[in-house]
Amino acid sequence: MVYREEIRDPAVMWVAWPLYPFTAGCAAMFFYQLFVGPLGEDPVPTWFWGLFALIALGAIFLLKNLTRLVVELTDEHLIVGFGTTRSKVSWDRVVGVREDKRSVLAYWGVGLRLGRIRGRWVKAYVPGVRAKRVVVELRGGRIRELVFATRDPDGVIELIGSRIKRESLGS
């Protein structure tokens, strides 16, 4: 491993914390109606509580995935990802690197973003509005730019640039 960085965004968990009691409440109502009996004279169907508990649990899982961005530079690959959602790019696909000067609005917000910018498909891992980002230009495949945040954009650009030079020399 040449470089590894984790960026945690606690703001995402502040958004997710109300879902915990909501999920617990929905699950409690589901099991109460399932095993004890209906709540009130005109109860909501039991499946409703189970469905809402599952939806809220899924939302917690998705938000929890967005709390930690991991950037890894190894001898074989560049790996960037939020939780279980990762992009693994071999060095022979990397053709350029630069600091991202675009606004976060160019990606339509934060999180994992996929879109077209100036006719090119871009995959962006943006953990927050103020995060400094790096753009890695790719060849082959549908995605032509991989954008990710880092605390040390100059160091990451230097590491990737030296790796690009090594690849172009054939080693």
Indicate if the pLDDT at residue 88 is higher than 90.
yes
Distance CA 104, CA 133 (A): 9
Quote the strand ranges of the chain, DSSP E: 3-8, 68-73, 77-82, 85-90, 94-99, 111-117, 120-126, 133-138, 143-149
% of the chain residues with pLDDT over 70: 98
pLDDT tens per residue across span 92-121 = 999 999 999 998 888 888 888 999 998 999
- Please report which confidence band the pLDDT of residue 135 belongs to, taking 50, 70 and 90 as the band edges: very high
Q: Name the nearest CA neighbour of 73 among 168, 169, 170, 167.
A: 167
pLDDT, average across residues 55-69: 89
CA torsion through residues 121, 156, 149, 71, sign: positive
* pLDDT for residue 48: 95
pLDDT, average across residues 126-149: 90
> Which pair of structure tokens corresponds to residue 58?
């899924």
164, 124 Cβ separation under 8 angstroms: no
Q: To the nearest whole number, what is the mean pLDDT of the chain?
A: 90
